Structure 1
């Protein structure tokens, strides 16, 4: 089975990242790994896509970044979700349910 096209998933990358940040702050590589694992390897986010999403979400106050020392002593940039990010996440989840309902009407033979 082929992976998911980035064109198909593009509008929900922020939602996926925000979902993971709801649990705890994290950094790029860890988020990338969790996306790959959670999707059962069906979607692998490109590094440029991930960091573009972080930059966009930070500009829109959905996440905030901070530096922290890792266990190996290197400084990492971590991201945490903001209240605006939580609200955006809930809104995108509602939008997804509506989108899924509409698309399923065409893919499950429910169209008229």
Structure 2
């Protein structure tokens, strides 16, 4: 992909967020930056999409949050992956792997 933005399949944002947080606690902007970094700048998550997703996955118990000070001295809510969230990440990754395999099979069909 070039500089165009990728449209994400519904449900993919949960996987990306959980994966980013599996590497350590982050605030919202840090999650966006980590996903951009991990995707080699191919994926850009909008704040308007991320924060509702964070609220939803926190309600499900996959992450927990607490207010803390950023490296620039500002207050921000930091998110941490919970044990339940780690299990869910495994489920999400397996589901994505099955979907990717199915799509590959369709693409290779003659």
Q: TM-score, normalised by structure 2?
A: 0.89
Q: SS at the partner of 2:73?
A: coil
Q: In 1, distance between residues paired with 2:37 and 2:66?
A: 25
Distance 1:89 1:31 in 2: 15
Supply the distance in 1 between the matched residues of 2:70 and 2:29 (Cα, whole angstroms). 12
Number of aligned residues: 108
Following TM superposition, the consecutive aligned residue runs of length 4 or more in structure 1 with deviations greater than 4 angstroms are none
SS of equivalent residue, structure 2 residue 30 = helix
Residue matched to 2:5: 3
Alpha-carbon deviation of 1:4? 1.3
Match of 2:48 in 1: 48
Could you give the per-residue CA deviations for residues 62-112 of structure 1, whole angstroms, max 9, x where no partner exists?
0011011223332110000111101110011111111111111111226xx
**Unpaired runs of 5+ in structure 1?**
none
Q: Partner of 1:93: helix, strand, or coil?
A: helix
Tell me the CA shift for residue 35 of structure 1.
1.1
Q: How large is the RMSD of aligned CA atoms in angstroms?
A: 1.4
From the two aligned structures, give the one with the greater helix fraction: 1
**Structure 2 residue ranges without an equivalent (≥5):** none
